[in-house]
């Protein structure tokens, strides 16, 4: 929204909308917030990807009638991807550990504090059974990265804002330290960024997809698309009952919600789910079906089509009556 909405509206009668995803609303910078609020009020319609994102828009002055909530969707063709029987062996070679008799937990996302991966490694993993391993996927900063050096020099507040903007920072360093201090060397594996086809296989070979988000000021999970991707690939999702995740994960329908920052609740839920493999498999199939039926790209795009159609209709000026020629 860096352009002039006022100027754009002068040269065009087309309605102007903007979709907000979460962080783009709550980003904790005073100048950004002033610009955001002033431009938000000029939009013909605000689309929020979740109720939590819509709430943040209301806090900033958006009117109820000017907000539409359209959840994100997932590619239904994911279900056509077959489980590669050779992938397990390749994964074993990559992490240097046999997966025989192991229960695999998986987290996918940017290495930022709100994702809760560090919290999970510190407060949950040490207290799970030894046959449970945790795989973490997501980009990491290189040790010789200039951006990494800049973050270390900046005040904590400014460094935090940069990490939010770029979606990457020093959180991964903390996780590597936790592997050492919590004796998790053979139980937690940080793979970094992986190709898309490998990511889909990781979903398929995981027993549980873990989304242990924690509340962080100036940051938020606007929706939680990876939860849908995991569910569409038949991984049972266990996620924090927090922010926009509550719109992507429906308790007992396509995942399980656990109170954020509650270690005992997380430990119990994971142990309960892993205790009955046959039941877990049926649960995964049921959750996958719900996700594909309720969060498809087709469903999402149809919601946008209806919204745009209504906006165009409401903007149409009534035609002036023309007197018949005598």
Q: Give the per-residue pLDDT at 77.
A: 87
Neighbouring residues of 246: CB distance < 8 A, sequence distance ≥ 6: 50, 51, 52, 257
Determine contact, residues 199/136, Cβ cutoff 8 Å.
no
From first to last of the 326 residues of the chain, give the pLDDT tens digit: 445 666 666 666 788 899 999 999 999 889 999 988 888 888 999 999 999 999 999 999 999 999 999 999 999 888 888 889 899 999 999 999 999 999 999 999 988 999 999 999 999 999 999 999 999 998 876 766 777 777 777 788 777 777 777 777 778 889 999 999 999 999 999 998 999 999 999 999 999 999 999 999 989 999 999 999 999 999 999 999 999 999 999 999 999 999 999 999 999 999 999 999 999 999 999 999 999 999 999 999 999 999 999 998 876 644 433 333 33
- pLDDT tens sequence across 53-107: 999 999 999 999 999 999 999 998 888 888 898 999 999 999 999 999 999 999 9
DSSP class per residue in 245-285? HHHH--BTTTBEEE-TT-HHHHHHHHHHHHT-HHHHHHHHH
3-class SS at 237? strand
For residue 316, the model assigns a pLDDT of 60
Q: Which residues, including other chains, have CB under 8 Å from residue 67's CB and lie 6 or more apart? A: 45, 46, 47, 48, 54, 57, 58
pLDDT recorded at residue 326: 33
pLDDT of residue 324: 35
Count helices and strands in the chain by DSSP H and E runs? 15, 9
Helix intervals (H) in 130-181: 146-153, 156-166, 171-181
SS3 151: helix
Angle between helices 146-153 and 156-166 (to 10 degrees): 150
Q: Which DSSP string do the residues of 212-228 spell out, in sequence order?
A: ----BTTB--SS-HHHH
In three-state secondary structure terms, 46 is strand
Q: In whole angstroms, give the CA distance from residue 96 to residue 135.
A: 13
For residue 69, the cross-strand partners are 48
Chain centre distance of CA 170: 19
Tokens 């490694």 belong to residue: 121
Is pTM beyond 0.75? Reply is yes
Q: Report the alpha-carbon angle 167-189-212, nearest 5.
A: 55
For residue 96, count CB atoms less than 10 angstroms from its CB and return exposed for 0-12, middle for 13-18, buried for 19 or more: exposed
Q: Which domains does the chain have, with CATH numbers?
A: 5-73+296-314 (3.40.50.2000), 76-294 (3.40.50.2000)
Q: What is the predicted pLDDT for the residue at 166?
A: 74
């Amino acid at each position: 929204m860096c352009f002039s909405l006022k100027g754009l509206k002068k040269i065009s009668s087309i309605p102007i909308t903007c979709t907000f995803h979460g962080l783009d609303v709550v980003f904790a910078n005073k100048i950004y917030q002033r610009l955001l609020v002033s431009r938000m009020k000029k939009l013909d319609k605000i689309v929020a990807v979740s109720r939590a994102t819509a709430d943040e828009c209301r806090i900033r002055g958006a009117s109820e009638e000017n907000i539409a909530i359209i959840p994100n969707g997932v590619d239904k063709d994911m279900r056509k991807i077959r489980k590669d029987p050779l992938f397990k062996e390749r994964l074993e070679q990559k992490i240097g550990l046999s997966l025989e008799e192991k229960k695999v937990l998986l987290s996918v996302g940017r290495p930022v504090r709100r994702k809760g991966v560090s919290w999970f490694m510190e407060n949950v993993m040490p207290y799970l059974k030894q046959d449970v391993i945790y795989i973490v996927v997501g980009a990491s900063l290189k040790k010789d990265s200039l951006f990494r050096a800049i973050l270390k020099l900046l005040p904590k507040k400014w460094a935090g804002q940069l990490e939010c903007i770029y979606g990457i920072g020093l959180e991964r360093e903390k996780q590597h330290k936790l592997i050492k201090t919590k004796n998790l060397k053979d139980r937690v594996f940080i793979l970094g960024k992986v190709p898309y086809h490998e990511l889909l296989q990781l979903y398929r070979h995981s027993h549980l997809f873990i989304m242990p988000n924690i509340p962080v000021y100036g940051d938020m999970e606007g929706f939680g698309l990876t939860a849908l991707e995991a569910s569409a690939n038949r991984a049972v999702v266990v996620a924090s009952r927090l922010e926009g995740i509550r719109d992507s994960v429906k308790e007992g329908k396509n995942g399980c919600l656990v109170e954020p920052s509650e270690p005992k609740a997380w430990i119990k839920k994971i142990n309960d789910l892993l205790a009955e493999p046959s039941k877990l498999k049926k649960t995964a199939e049921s959750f996958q079906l719900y996700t594909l039926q309720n969060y498809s790209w087709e469903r999402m795009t149809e919601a946008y089509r209806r919204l745009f159609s209504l906006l165009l209709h409401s903007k149409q000026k009534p035609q002036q009556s023309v007197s018949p020629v005598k």
